[in-house]
Amino acid sequence: MTALAFVVICACVLFATRGFAWGAQGDVLAVRFGADRDRTRVVIDLDKSTQGRVINAGDGGRITLALAGVAPGRGLNGGGSGLVRAYQVTAVGGASRVELELARDSQIERRFLLPPGDGVAHYRYVVDLKANGGAVGPAAPRVSPTPAPRRAEKPLVVIDAGHGGRDPGASGAKVSESEVTLAAALTLKAELERTGRYRVLLTRETNTYVDLYRRVAIARRADADLFISLHADAGTDPAVRGASVYTLSEQGAGRAVREFTRSDNWHRELHLPGRDPSVDRILLDMTQRATQNRSAQFARVLLTHLEASDHPLLRRSHRDAGLAVLLAPDVPAVLLEMGFITNPEDERLLTDERARRRLMRSVADGIDRYFREPAAALVTASTDGPAGQP
């Protein structure tokens, strides 16, 4: 996509969302709460990006934040949940002032901005509150009977073993690509499941042929949080070796949008409003941009872990490509070329069980790191200061 097209899209979004269903509330769409005994998550849904600032960190039983550049329209107010008794959003200059009336003495644990992505078409400013130690009433047990807030479900990782069946992929001296990708996928599945932190789905578990678009559809239908496609490279020069990671190119992204908008109910599949096709199209582009950012973020983390494990890498190891398996616009996706099957040393690394486990363990570590720090990595984009400091 050209820079000009990007500017045009941004202008349209500003314009289109004004008179759209969300317009009545200005830029602040909603304030939501999730709570247990000692922690409360406040999610402020926004239709544009913002930079948050803490004005009052808890004095007088209140936490007050300013969100720059977002107008609250008529404003919002209502009852809270957990550590928040009530909330109010009002306009202050060009900003929104968010006031949280506390039910108990609490502090901000962390706050961050989430751009559109993972199936959500708008921005979210998240504030996590934690109750301060001095418990009210009789001494509370140190271990709360209620577990800390958690995602309802573990993240779902879809592992795609490249090729298979009538499509063996590239051939090495001893094995075909489809064999090493399946072995690697099964090993990675075992490594991820061993942590107890993920659900894992394979696009194929045997030597069968699966269409490229079907592989993407499997990930989308399952509402995957991450898609990783495993392949092995091939070259005419047997000396060339090393792994590389691909993410979707701009050109590929354009193709993905075209492919996707061919179906009649694509807006519903992406949880978009579906009232105005041109607005949905813009939101799709924005969702996809966020997905591309997340994919690039995972690609970087993955390469760092491969490098740390001394796995040989190609010189320019992060590449862009319009590869069909990376086309899901709402699932972060990378394609890992694990090495050159045409290089004897790489072929050995891909067929030796211990070497394979070592490689897949570093991939699993990369996945772990990606999911452990998604918010932290995204905060850098909003240049927010640490909690409690203006």
Our CA angle for 234, 167, 246, nearest 5°, is: 45
* Contacting range for Zn ion; rule: CB under 5 A; set: 42-50, 120-128, 141-149, 160-168: 160-168
Figure out which of the listed residues 162, 164, 332, 374 binds Zn ion, where binding follows CB under 5 A. 162
Q: Which is nearer to Zn ion, 58 or 162 (CB)?
A: 162
Nearer to Zn ion, 177 or 365 (CB): 177
Least Å distance, CB 155 to Zn ion, is 25
Closest approach of Cβ 312 to Zn ion, in Å? Answer: 18
Count, residues in the chain = 390
Closest approach of Cβ 231 to Zn ion, in Å? 3
Size of the site for Zn ion (CB under 5 A): 3
If the CB atoms of residues 73 and 168 are measured against Zn ion, the closer one turns out to be 168
Q: Give min distance, CB of 162 to Zn ion, in A.
A: 4
Kindly indicate which of the ranges 130-138, 157-165, 207-215, 254-262 contains the residues binding Zn ion, using the contact rule CB under 5 A.
Answer: 157-165
Any idea what DSSP says for residue 119?
T
Q: Is 80 in the site for Zn ion (CB under 5 A)?
A: no
Span of 26-34, 225-233, 279-287, 296-304 interacting with Zn ion by CB under 5 A: 225-233
Question: What's the closest the beta carbon of residue 370 comes to Zn ion, in angstroms?
Answer: 23
Kindly indicate which of the ranges 193-201, 224-232, 326-334, 365-373 contains the residues binding Zn ion, using the contact rule CB under 5 A: 224-232
Angle at 15 between CA 10 and CA 21, to 5 degrees: 115
CB closer to Zn ion, 104 vs 231: 231
Name the minimum Å distance from CB 238 to Zn ion: 18
Please say which residue, 46 or 349, places its beta carbon nearer to Zn ion. 349
* 48 Cβ neighbours under 8 A, 6+ residues apart: 14, 27, 69, 70, 123
Closest approach of Cβ 234 to Zn ion, in Å?
A: 8
In angstroms, how far is CA 372 from the centroid of its own chain? Answer: 11
CA dist 190 → 199, 208, 368 (Å): 11, 20, 14
Q: What is the 3-state secondary structure (H, E, C) of 233-262?
A: ECCCCCCCCCEEEEEECHHHHHHHHHHHCC
Tell whether the torsion through CA atoms of 13, 14, 15 and 20 is positive or negative. positive
Is position 169 an interface residue for Zn ion (rule: CB under 5 A)?
Answer: yes
Helix (H) or strand (E) holding 124: strand 123-131
Taking CB atoms, the residue at the shortest distance from Zn ion is 231
Strand partners, 136: none
Nearest to 325 by CA among 155, 169, 175, 117: 169
- Stretch of 46-54, 185-193, 211-219, 223-231 lying at the interface with Zn ion (CB under 5 A): 223-231
Q: Does 215 bind Zn ion (CB under 5 A)?
A: no
Instruction: Work out the end-to-end distance of the chain between its first and last CA atoms, rounded to an integer number of angstroms.
Output: 37
Q: Which is nearer to Zn ion, 117 or 242 (CB)?
A: 242
Classified as helix, coil or strand, 202 is strand
Candidate ranges 16-24, 66-74, 162-170, 275-283; the one touching Zn ion (CB under 5 A):
162-170
**Of 270-299, which residues contact Zn ion (CB under 5 A)?**
none
Stretch that binds Zn ion, among 19-27, 60-68, 161-169, 295-303 (CB under 5 A): 161-169
CA–CA gap between residue 178 and residue 165 (Å, rounded): 8
From the CB of 127, what's the least distance to Zn ion, in Å? Answer: 44
Tokens of 230: 């495993």
Distance CA 384, CA 390 (A): 9
Under the binding rule (CB under 5 A), the answer on residue 231 touching Zn ion is yes
Q: Which stretch binds Zn ion (CB under 5 A): 152-160, 214-222, 229-237, 261-269?
A: 229-237
Q: How far is the CB of 318 from Zn ion (least distance, A)?
A: 17
* Binding of Zn ion by 164 (CB under 5 A): no
- Residue 127 CA to residue 32 CA, distance in Å, equals 11
Strand order of the sheet with strand 84-92?
52-57, 62-67, 95-102, 84-92, 76-79
Measured CA angle at 182 (ends 178, 183), to 5 deg: 120
Identify the CA nearest to 344 among candidates 199, 173, 218. 173
Closest distance to Zn ion from the beta carbon of 169 (Å): 5
Residue 314: CB minimum distance to Zn ion, A: 15
Map residue 162 onto helix, strand or coil. Answer: coil
Residues of this chain that bind Zn ion (CB under 5 A): 162, 169, 231
